[in-house]
Each structure stands twice: as structure tokens, then as C-alpha cells.
Amino acid sequence: MDPLPLPPSSSGIMPALLYRRETLGRWTHWNTDFADQTLHGFGVAVFDVGLPAPLTVISAHLDPFVPDRARHEAKLLATRALRYGPYGIVAGDINYPPADPKHPVPDYAEMRPYNRSARTRLPSESGGRITPERRVAETLSYTGFVDAAWELYERTGDESLLRRTCAEERIDQLWASAPLRDAITDYQLLDSPAGASDHHGLAVVLDLTRAATESVWEYR
């Protein structure tokens, strides 16, 4: 992975991004205009990869404490990922359960109370039951994004795709916008070397020749 400088952002910051020039094409933008509107901040990296519109990539780390705030962050990141056209990726520590109600749930009784209180709905909202807080991921889905691991699971039935990404559940996810759905061809967790992090990395392969190229719209 070659470290390559990106153009200055509007804030004057000159960051560095690691990527393979031969597989990710040519960068065109690095935008941090909204970084101060989320708990952990974020940047928007934009690449010309030969599609009819640029490919936008955002590394996400959503608020782990307040689900309602994380929902706002998810909507902001999803919208920013579509700022340059319909090809967008939001990936990283989403901090909340996947969107689909059929997705396996962890043993919440074994979960630390501070995590359980964030990742499940209030008992008064769910008839006294412990119910996963899926609304954060649902926000990404409703904005037109696809959970790569769940998409491949639905195609193949391979339950290993749904492995937990941290000690308790699959809260790290890669979401690709709908025109990239068919481009998702592989997904795996990076769990070595052991102890490198309290979360596993994600590796997702996109075959951009399979991306939808009709009805390409511009942001307005």
C-alpha cells in the first residue's frame, strides 16, 4: 500500500491516505467539511475508478453511547457518501447491530451492561423484551446502502459471513450503495495477528465491472 498525499481539505489539513493506485484509480477529493458534526469525525475520499461517476469512500466510527445520535451520524455519512454520485461506501465501526431482523442476535445476558443498553431498545419501547437496536443500520439501508456481509450471506447461505467482529456481535460493517450491490464478490474478517485490536478488520472485494451504470444521477 503506497502512502499518497491527498489534496488539501477546506480546513487546510493535508492528510495521507493509504491505497493501491492501480486498483483504486485516481483520487479527486478529500473532504472534511462535516468532520466536527460527529463524535469521532470522518473524511470523505473520492476516486475516479472508471465508473460513470466517482467512487466515494468513508471510514465510519459511529457514536457508541447514544443510538439516536448515531442514527443522525449514519444519515450524515450516508448522504456525504453520495455527494459525488450514486457510488458510495460507508465502512467501519457502526457500533450497532445489522439491519435485517433475520440476522442472528448475540446473548445479551452475557453482554456488558453499557453495551447492552446502547445496542438494544429500551424495554418500554419493546414490550419489555430485549430487542436489538437496529435503527442505526436501518438508516443506512433506508438511504440506499447494502450490508456487504448480509448481501453475500443471502446469496450463499454461508453463515461464516455473519461472524461477530468484536467480542460480542457483528457491529463492524461495510455498506455499499445500491448500484454497487452486484459488484460485491467477496468478504472476510481479518483476525490475525491475534490481539492486534479488539475488533476484526473487514476485507471486501468489489468487481466494479459489475456495478450498475444506468440512470446515473448527480447530487442536488
As given in the structure block, the three cell numbers for residue 47 are 476516486
Contact 61, 42 (CB under 8 A): yes
What pLDDT is attached to residue 192?
85
Residue indicated by cell numbers 448500484 = 179
Distance CA 6, CA 54 (A): 16
Specify the length of the chain in residues. 220
* Closest CA relative to residue 78, chosen from 147, 25, 133, 24: 147
> The pTM is what?
0.90
Distance CA 60, CA 147 (A): 14
Peptide bond into 193 cis (omega under 30): yes
What pLDDT is attached to residue 23?
72
Peptide bond into 123 cis (omega under 30): no
**pLDDT in 10s for each residue of the chain, 220 residues:** 333 344 443 333 334 456 777 777 888 999 999 999 999 999 999 999 999 999 999 999 999 999 999 999 999 999 999 999 999 999 999 999 999 999 999 999 999 999 999 999 999 999 999 999 999 999 999 999 999 999 999 999 999 999 999 999 999 999 999 999 999 999 999 988 888 899 999 999 999 999 999 989 999 9
DSSP-assigned states of every residue in 135-184: HHHHHHHHTTEEEHHHHHHHHH--GGGG--SSSSS--EEEEEEGGGGGGE
Distance CA 171, CA 174 (A): 10
Tell me the residue ranges of DSSP E strands in 6-148.
16-19, 26-31, 44-48, 55-61, 87-93, 145-147
Sheet holding 26-31, edge to edge: 26-31, 44-48, 55-61, 87-93, 172-177, 145-147
